[in-house]
Chain A
Amino acid sequence: GENVEQHPSTLSVQEGDSAVIKCTYSDSASNYFPWYKQELGKGPQLIIDIRSNVGEKKDQRIAVTLNKTAKHFSLHITETQPEDSAVYFCAPGRGSTLGRLYFGRGTQLTVWP
């Protein structure tokens, strides 16, 4: 299976600052790299994903970068806002009709106003 590690486990930033969360994985066959956000009392929700043939993807204030050689990918959030406070999970896997995702342990992000 896949061995997934996320760092840091907790992250506190001031509103307006940037936040970066890193995810390392072990399965070189993984080709799909999503990030999920979980707000209190809710299920995780996809916020951005990237495939192995792309090095970076941006969507407004969030971006994901991939280093497939080193087997890690990162979530970048710029101009953080209090509503960004949540738990963030990386979940690498093989994008296929029968594959599964391997969720990391999560990063608790707190944005202070």
Chain B
Amino acid sequence: DAGVIQSPRHEVTEMGQEVTLRCKPISGHNSLFWYRQTMMRGLELLIYFNNNVPIDDSGMPEDRFSAKMPNASFSTLKIQPSEPRDSAVYFCASSPRGWSRGGSSYEQYFGPGTRLTVT
């Protein structure tokens, strides 16, 4: 398996522009998480989905952020309009969650991240 795939790996944009980050989870995983990592705030959970349904979006900083999961193999995180303080590394993670052979598995598999710079 290729693991969690994120695109783009790097994004540089100007303040006010729309940014769309993409994620393809591991096939068969039923949960998907979006995180943001900065030196100041550490690793923050923005939103997570279970079976394509958003479960908790309380970590989304403001209305400029939105996330969708139209099917089990694709999710997007959109920022519109972007601001310099949105600069961070954004990670997507997926998890099989629940019981499987050998016991329960709640491991989260992280993608390589998207480094976003807003100037």
Which A residues lie at the B interface, using CB under 8 A? 32, 34, 41-46, 49, 89, 93, 95, 97-106
User: Is A100 touching B42 in the complex (CB atoms < 8 A)?
Assistant: no
User: Is A43 touching B111 in the complex (CB atoms < 8 A)?
Assistant: yes
Main SS of chain A's interface residues?
loop
With a CB–CB cut-off of 8 A, which chain A residues contact B111?
Answer: 43
Across the A-B interface, how many residue pairs have beta carbons closer than 8 Å?
A: 52
Inter-chain CA distance A32–B106, complex, in Å, is 9
User: Is A45 touching B110 in the complex (CB atoms < 8 A)?
Assistant: yes
Considering only CB atoms and an 8 Å cut-off, how many residues of chain B contact the other chain? 24
Which B residues lie at the A interface, using CB under 8 A? 4, 30-31, 33, 35, 42-43, 45, 48, 50, 55-56, 91, 93, 97-98, 104, 106-108, 110-113
Could you say which of B4, B31, B50, B108 has the most chain A C-beta atoms within 10 Å of its C-beta? B108
A100 with B107, Cβ < 8 A, contacts A42-B112, A43-B112, A43-B113 known: no
Nearest-neighbour CB distance to chain B for A66, whole angstroms, equals 16
A95 with B45, Cβ < 8 A, contacts A43-B91, A100-B56 known: no
Nearest-neighbour CB distance to chain A for B23, whole angstroms, equals 11
> What are 15 of the A-B contact pairs (CB < 8 Å)?
A34-B106, A41-B112, A43-B112, A44-B110, A49-B106, A89-B43, A95-B104, A95-B106, A97-B50, A98-B55, A99-B106, A100-B56, A103-B35, A103-B43, A106-B43
Inter-chain CA distance A34–B95, complex, in Å, is 14
With a CB–CB cut-off of 8 A, which chain B residues contact A97?
Answer: 30-31, 50, 97-98
A44 with B97, Cβ < 8 A, contacts A97-B50, A100-B48, A101-B108 known: no
Inter-chain CA distance A89–B43, complex, in Å, is 9
Given contacts A32-B106, A34-B107, A97-B97, 11 further A-B contacts (CB under 8 A): A42-B113, A43-B93, A45-B110, A46-B107, A49-B106, A98-B55, A99-B106, A100-B56, A103-B35, A103-B43, A106-B42
Inter-chain CA distance A9–B48, complex, in Å, is 27
